[in-house]
């Protein structure tokens, strides 16, 4: 388990997806903040430092890949685990995500337990990397 309540930032323009992800993660003991767009997510990141970020690819104005690159270029967030949660499952999209620096690429519809497992795994890896 986590030594403190980990905070996850969800960035998705679909209210129903945000709600589902929030419920899934809260049930597993995570604290959740959400943003409806890439621009809103960057504003949120200026104020709070989540332990993990969950992004949709199809976002208005700034897509998930662009947002991911922007986060990776920010010194405070270069090491923050990022998961893409997308309705697009082509190999090209997956590759674009990896190139942009995502840690995991999940497709919708996702299985709640699969999401929780990946989130826990990435947070554990990050804690380990910090301990070294």
Q: What's the domain range around 73?
A: 7-131
Q: 61 pLDDT exceeds 80?
A: no
Q: Which long-range contacts (CB under 8 A, 24 or more apart) does 71-74 make?
A: 71/45, 71/101, 72/100, 72/101, 74/45
pTM of the predicted model over 0.85: yes
Q: What is the mean pLDDT of residues 69-90?
A: 89
- CATH (domain of 79): 3.40.50.2300
Tens of pLDDT, residues 23-46: 999 999 999 999 999 999 999 999
How many domains, in total, are found in the chain?
1
Strands 52-55 and 7-11: parallel
In a domain, 71, yes or no: yes
pLDDT confidence of residue 84: 92
Q: Does residue 80 sit in helix, strand or coil?
A: coil
**Other CB atoms within 10 A of residue 63 CB:** 16
Q: What is the mean pLDDT of residues 51-70?
A: 88
């Amino acid at each position: 388990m986590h030594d403190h309540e980990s905070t996850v930032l969800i960035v998705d323009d679909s209210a129903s997806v945000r709600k589902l992800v929030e419920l899934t993660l809260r049930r597993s003991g995570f604290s959740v903040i959400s943003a409806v767009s890439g621009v809103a997510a960057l504003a949120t990141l200026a104020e709070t430092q989540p332990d993990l970020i969950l992004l949709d690819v199809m976002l208005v104005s700034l897509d998930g890949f662009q947002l991911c690159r922007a986060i990776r270029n920010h010194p405070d967030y270069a090491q923050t685990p990022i998961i893409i949660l997308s309705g697009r499952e082509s190999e090209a999209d997956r590759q674009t995500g990896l190139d942009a620096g995502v840690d995991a690429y999940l497709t919708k519809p996702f299985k709640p337990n699969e999401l929780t497992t990946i989130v826990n795994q990435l947070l554990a890896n990050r804690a380990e990397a910090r301990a070294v």
